[in-house]
Structures are given as structure tokens and as C-alpha cells.
Structure 1
Amino acid sequence: MNNILKLIIIVFLVYSTVIYANENIFNITSQPNIGAKSYILIDYNTGIILTEKNSNETQKPASLVKIMTSYVIGKALVKGKLHRNDIVTVGKNAWATGNDEFNGSSLMFLKIGDHISVKNLIKGIILQSGNDACVAIAEYISGNQNNFVNLMNFYAKKIGLKNTNFKNVHGLDEEGQYTSAKDIAIMGKCLIRDFPYEYSIYKEKYFTFNHISQKNRNLLLWDKTLNVDGIKTGHTENAGYNIIASAIKNNMRLIVVILGDKTEQDRKKNSKKLLNWGFETFRTINPIKKYQKIATIPILYGKHSYVRIGIKHNVFLTILKNQEKKIKILYHIKNNKIFAPIHRNQILGHLTFMINNHIIGYYPLIALENIPKGNVFVCFLDYIRLLLSKWIHQ
């Protein structure tokens, strides 16, 4: 357990009931005033919503669609269906001059018959927001854009998006294509978590292809007061100015999404305001590391008389600054008698983190080791102990 945190540990070796409080543990009265149609600010590590406005309302995504395009590309790379050094031949559907829908939109400026590597197409999508690059790689992976869009919608459901539907691979306005600020935040979180290499490209500021150099449209990357390392902007006349940005400070990563802002400068100013407010108001703490020993508990009929217990994943908690001393840990074991054999990762109970009777984290407690059954002599002694225990408590 992290000794820096003065946590109060309450131990229960029987089943316990935890009461969920209705109060808001954050109890924040002053929050940023943002004029965009919708927005959300979340803690990446915990998923806790720090502030939001209309975050479940559907809006037009514009180029934020390309985050899911990146996600599908990442899946294809991991599965070996695509390789970064593959060479793609550009077809007519990815040729801007031959497609009226691309007029005035963001492009990589591909031409029919161009031969371009997958790694350069990926940069063209991420850094130049190239609608033509999206079409070229979608056709290369799936044969046509419709098949690729089906993959986008498949993965959207798989990662838990509730208010999103894709109709194209690039984000230009189309009937039936929509998303929400909350869904975009989830999409960004999953991209960062599942494909860190792909995500690392989002912080690059420039990309040059065919002697045409273009600048990353995420203006927060140039802001020296924030450590922003991604991710994407978008704009159409109907969508307004959209952004998802992520920044890190003091081991805390925040993700902000704004949909439907009025101008490019408003988008930058408001996303910065939300990120700064989040960092000034909250902290993310990591009180327990994965597979760290939390305690030992007695077992019966085992080769060893105790088993070490811990948690399978790192524990992250989102709290207000200076709120550490209010945290309580409730440590529950499923049964008052645990019998061998015990298997590593076997769930033996759970750990609940609370502030003011409000649950802020809930994790299964697992065995950190295998404990085989003991020999006949050990089992006999434990059997006698059980008999004596029952006799004493009668």
C-alpha cells in the first residue's frame, strides 16, 4: 500500500453490504462556462466525468470520424491483415479532382495511380486529415468503403459507443452519421489504450507529402502551458468546430471533447480552459499497483497456511485535490473459511474505495499465487482445528 496516502483500512472477513450515497463527492459549484453545443472532460485512467454539457446528445462528428478510421487501421495492423510498408495504389475514388464531395475539404492531394506506403497514408489521415487518404486505405483494407464503414460500426458497438453511427470513412456530413461528446471521449480513450503507437503520431506537428507540407490543425500542440500530445480536430459548416484533445500533468491524463463550437479560436480557448480547470481541481492517484501484495489471509487444507492477495490491475482513483485523507478502503473476503487448493488470479473477495460513503472504486481481490492442497498430516491438523472451532463457538 502506498505509504504516502493516509488511508483508513476497514477489514471485513465476512460478507458485507456497502451503502451507495446519493451525494456528489465532488460537490463543485463553480465550473467553466463553455458556449459550445456539447462538451465533456474525463479522467483517462478512471473514466470519471469531471464536467459535461449535453454529452449524450447527438452531433455531427466531422473529421473526428477519423479516430475510428485509425482504430480500424490499428486492428488490421495487429491482426496482420495490413503492414506499414505495404504499397497502396490510389484509385479514382480517392482522387479529389474526380470527386465533388471533396471540394474544399482536407486532403493529402493524392492522384490516380500514385503508389504510397500505408505508413504515409496513416500520417496523411492523422496529420493532414486527408479525406482522400481515408478512402485509399479503406479500399485497400476492405475492398470498398462500405465494408470498411461496417467495421467502424462493429468496433463502435464493441467499445461501448451508444450514440454513434458512421456512414463514411472521413467525416464529411452525411445523413445518418452522428456521434456524441461522450462517445468521442470513449473512442479517444480506446485509441490511446489499444494502439499507443498510432496515438503517438497524433502529436506530430507537420507532415510533407509530394513536396506539400501541411500543419497539424490541433493548435493546442503549440501551447507551452499544456502538455498536449493529441488528438484531433474537425470542422464542417453543419458540425461547427469540433475537437478532442488529451494532455498530461503530474501523472494525470485528461481527455476533453468539444462539439459544435463557433470558431477555431473558440475551440482552442475552450478546450484549454476545460483542461486547465481539470488539472487545477482534481488529482489522479495510484494507491495500489497491479499484483502488489495487499494482505495475507489464512487458508485451510493448504500446503501453506496463508495466501497473499492483491489486485490484477493498477488502481486509479479520481479525487479532488487534498482529499486523500478522506479515502476509506473496505476489504471484503467472500467466506470466513477459505479452503485449498487456491489458484492464482482466483477471486477471493473485493476491495472498495469510498469517500463520504460514496463508492469511488471497486476491484476484485485475487490470489497472487497457487496454493496446492497440503499432505495428509496438514489436512488432518486443519480438520481438528475446524472441529475445535465449531465446539468452542457452540
Structure 2
Amino acid sequence: MNNSEWARKFVCGVVACWMVFYTVGVGAQALVVPPRVAASSWLVMEYESGQVLAHSNADEKTDPASLAKIMTSYVVGQAIKSESLSVLDEVTVNRDAWAAANPQLRGSSLMFLEPDSRVTVGDLNKGMVVQSGNDACIALADYIAGGQAAFVAVMNDYANKLGLSNTRFKTVHGLEAAGQFTTARDLAILSRALIQDLPEEYALYKQREFAYKGIRQINRNRLLWSTGLTVDGLKTGYSKASGFSLVSSAVVGDMRLIVVVLGAANDRARFQESQKLLKWGARSFERRVAIGPDEVYASRRIWFGDTSTVRLNAADQGAIVVPYGLADDLHATAVLSQPVLTAPLEKGQVVGVIDFQIAGKSVAQTPLVVMDRVEEGGFLSRAWDYLLLKVLQGLGLCVSCT
């Protein structure tokens, strides 16, 4: 494979990564050194851009434990959003959601449901999100999908759609099961999707307590009480296999950060390390609109079209996060996924990336997209373009220059 072919495939791969809803700040961690984190894996993501600001072992697989409930919540939220489910629906609790009859649930987090009782979807949802009730997860799965296995299939289907390539669910609640795993990166992507797609569902995560039948339970995410941060989610998790974990999110200035800490040694450590990373991200980075949504970033030659040039920009993804105080040193370069742009092109079509660099290090990338639809030209104009393109290529001249 020659160098040009390798480069083309590399750029195409970068563009494909953007289609699964996240970017990677490949140089940000080198410019701003993150703190030491006492956890087996962790990640810091800026919500708006999906930019990963720093991470360690972010793709290392581990047992999700109760963090699986973030996906259960996502499925429930999508059902409510589509109006196939209502928070007012009354659910008759089956025996499999009763801890006394289900040995797997004994000693785990519960909403304390009783068989044949009728509970609204809204209360079950709060019981799952706020109390981390494993019984609530089962009751919701039974009602929505007719059983846990069918609901798990929906969870995995959403995982595939969201691009969670290192995640596989086997249970609706996250209790240990063979073949069940996730990663810090996938949990950050999932959490971002929940916040972005389902704001009403996400609003439950900041609720500090919930009482069912007089049993008052406190949200296990103690960062909700933090006085130095505006934390409004997400979820704790623990299992013998994974250790103590926490996915958290907070608004800091004009940024929202998502922090995933997996495999901390104890309950106290997961909160300390998460708070440390949230504060580090808040003081080390700033969000800048590098390219406005209507701003023409570049114009490039297009071949075989009804016009000879096409306008390109970053669409609505022109805001990036850069190390604090270095925004003025930002340099951007457009990299096409193919050396020759040919018609037809659709408005919004991704044709490359805009690479942002500081001091020669890539700190962020956004998609390079077409601003205007370009139709194919007529026969004569396409024939002329064919001859001209061959001449320029033969002379080794630029074929994308306007």
C-alpha cells in the first residue's frame, strides 16, 4: 500500500469515527497534564462536542455493575419520548421482581416491590434511577418488553446504534453475569446520548431522594451535594469484579463535563477521584466557537457538478474545547477524505475533517461538511471536467484548489 492510499484510508477512518457521535482530543492530554487518578480506568469528556479531554485505559473492558442502568434508563426514556409508554401507566409487579422469590435480588439495591402490587411507570423509573432498584428494572422490563431477555436485546440494539463497540449487556440491572462488559469510553458516549436525547429522563438523575411506601432512600451519588460543583448526575456502580465506579456530570461555566471513573478501591475514592477530574477539567479547558454554523471555512474544487466550487464548514459542530489560555494559538487545517471531490454532494455530507492544532499537536477534530447541495452537471461539462482532471493529475497539480 503506497503512502497516498494509506493516508486516504486513515482520513476515511477518522471521518467514520465522527459518525458514532464522538471526537477524540488526541493532543489535549499532552498539552495539559491530567492529575493522577486512583482507578483502573477513567475518562473526561466535554459534552457539547463529545471531545475526550483525557483518559486512561478508556477501552479496557469491565463489568458495568449498576452502571448498566444508564442504558436501561435510556431505553425507558426513549419509550416515553415516543409515547409508546406513559409515566402514568400502572404496572402489575411480577414475582420475578420480588426479592423474596428471586435469590439474585437478595441483598442488592431494591425499591422493595411486592408481587401483584400496582406501581406507575413514573415511580418505577424513579426507583431505578434514584434508588438504583434492581427490582424496578425487572418490573419495567417485564412491562415494556414482556420479559428481561427481550428488554436486554433492546439494550444491546441501542448500544450498537450508539456505536458502543465494547459494550454487551446480559441483564437489565447490571448484576454480575458472564459475558457482560463495558468501558469508560462507551459509558461516556452513552451518558452523553442520554443527556442529549432525553432531557426529561436525565432530569431524574439530580433527584436526591425518593420514597416508596414510606421507605425513604437517598441517591447514592454524593456529588449531588457538592458545594463546589454543579453536579446533576449520573450513577454509581459496584461489583466484586469491577470495584467501585461512578459516572458523573456537571456544568462548569459554559461547559458540561462527563467523567467516568471505573475500578476505584472503595466508595470514598470513586467520589474523590471523580471530583478531582471535574475540577481539573473546569480549570484546565475552555470552550470556543472556532467556526460558526453559517461561516464558510473553505471552498474546494468539485468535479462533474453543476458548479465548479463547493463551500465547506463544520455545520453546528464548530465549537471545540482547548487548553485554557491557548485559544489564540489555535490553527485549523481542512483534510479531505478523498483527493478528488465529485458530484453529486448532499448538503451536510461529511467530506473530511477540520483538524485543530496547538503547537503542532492535534487537540480536536470536527467534521468537514458540505454547505450546499451540488447536482451533477450536464454531459458536456462533465466531459470537459474529465479531460481537465486528467491533465492536472498528469502534471501533478492540485485538483481540489479553486
TM-score for the superposition, normalised by structure 2: 0.77
1:172 aligns with 2:214: no
Q: Once the two structures are superposed, what CA deviation does each residue of 1:31-59 show, in whole Å capped at 9, x if it has no partner?
A: 32222222222222333333322222222
Task: Tell me the equivalent position of 1:282.
Answer: 285
Task: Tell me the equivalent position of 2:216.
Answer: 213
Shift of 1:129: 0.4
> Equivalent residues in 2 for 1:229-268 (5 A)?
229-268=232-271
Task: Tell me the equivalent position of 1:385.
Answer: none
Larger Rg: 1
Task: Tell me the equivalent position of 1:366.
Answer: 370
Which letter does structure 2 place at the counterpart of 1:154?
A: D
C-alpha spacing 1:260/1:297, structure 2 compared with 1 (3 Å): closer
Q: Which moved more, 1:76-85 or 1:214-223?
A: 76-85
- Secondary structure of the 2:36 match is coil
Q: Distance in 2 between matches of 1:125 and 1:165?
A: 20
Which letter does structure 2 place at the counterpart of 1:366?
A: V
Q: Once the two structures are superposed, what CA deviation does each residue of 1:234-280 show, in whole Å capped at 9, x if it has no partner?
A: 12333321100011112111111111212211111111011111112
Asked if structure 1 preserves the Cα contact closer than 8 Å seen for 2:345 and 2:370, the reply is: no
Shift of 1:123: 0.7
1:226 aligns with 2:200: no
Note the residue ranges of structure 1 that are not aligned, 5 or more in a row.
1-17, 374-394
Q: Distance in 2 between matches of 1:125 and 1:233?
A: 12
The structure showing larger relative contact order (alpha-carbon pairs under 8 Å, at least 6 residues apart) is: 1
Residue number among 137, 141, 159 corresponding to 1:138 in the alignment: 141
Asked if structure 2 preserves the Cα contact closer than 8 Å seen for 1:40 and 1:257, the reply is: yes
C-alpha spacing 1:58/1:351, structure 2 compared with 1 (3 Å): closer
C-alpha spacing 1:291/1:369, structure 2 compared with 1 (3 Å): farther
1:65 aligns with 2:68: yes
How many residues were matched structurally?
Answer: 360
Identity of aligned residues (%): 39
Q: Which moved more, 1:130-139 or 1:252-261?
A: 252-261
Asked if structure 2 preserves the Cα contact closer than 8 Å seen for 1:43 and 1:253, the reply is: yes
Q: Distance in 2 between matches of 1:167 and 1:98?
A: 21
Asked if structure 1 preserves the Cα contact closer than 8 Å seen for 2:335 and 2:352, the reply is: yes
Asked if structure 2 preserves the Cα contact closer than 8 Å seen for 1:125 and 1:134, the reply is: yes
Q: Which moved more, 1:149-158 or 1:285-294?
A: 285-294
Asked if structure 1 preserves the Cα contact closer than 8 Å seen for 2:109 and 2:131, the reply is: yes
Q: Distance in 2 between matches of 1:95 and 1:333?
A: 57
1:104 aligns with 2:107: yes
Q: Distance in 1 between matches of 2:220 and 2:210?
A: 11
Which letter does structure 2 place at the counterpart of 1:364?
A: L
C-alpha spacing 1:362/1:177, structure 2 compared with 1 (3 Å): closer
Task: Tell me the equivalent position of 2:399.
Answer: none
> Equivalent residues in 2 for 1:109-120 (5 A)?
109-120=112-123
C-alpha spacing 1:158/1:340, structure 2 compared with 1 (3 Å): closer
Asked if structure 1 preserves the Cα contact closer than 8 Å seen for 2:31 and 2:323, the reply is: no
Asked if structure 2 preserves the Cα contact closer than 8 Å seen for 1:297 and 1:308, the reply is: yes
Asked if structure 1 preserves the Cα contact closer than 8 Å seen for 2:28 and 2:53, the reply is: no
Asked if structure 2 preserves the Cα contact closer than 8 Å seen for 1:348 and 1:367, the reply is: no
1:150 aligns with 2:156: no
Identify, as 1 or 2, the structure richer in helix.
Answer: 2
Q: Once the two structures are superposed, what CA deviation does each residue of 1:179-233 show, in whole Å capped at 9, x if it has no partner?
A: 2222211211111122121111101111111111111110000001011110000
1:184 aligns with 2:205: no
Shift of 1:361: 2.1
Q: Once the two structures are superposed, what CA deviation does each residue of 1:51-84 show, in whole Å capped at 9, x if it has no partner?
A: 3222222222111010010111122223332222
Q: Distance in 2 between matches of 1:101 and 1:334?
A: 51
Task: Tell me the equivalent position of 1:34.
Answer: 37
Asked if structure 2 preserves the Cα contact closer than 8 Å seen for 1:291 and 1:368, the reply is: no
Note the residue ranges of structure 2 that are not aligned, 5 or more in a row.
1-10, 15-25, 378-402
C-alpha spacing 1:102/1:327, structure 2 compared with 1 (3 Å): same
CA RMSD between the two structures: 3.6
C-alpha spacing 1:137/1:341, structure 2 compared with 1 (3 Å): closer
1:94 aligns with 2:97: yes
Asked if structure 1 preserves the Cα contact closer than 8 Å seen for 2:353 and 2:365, the reply is: no
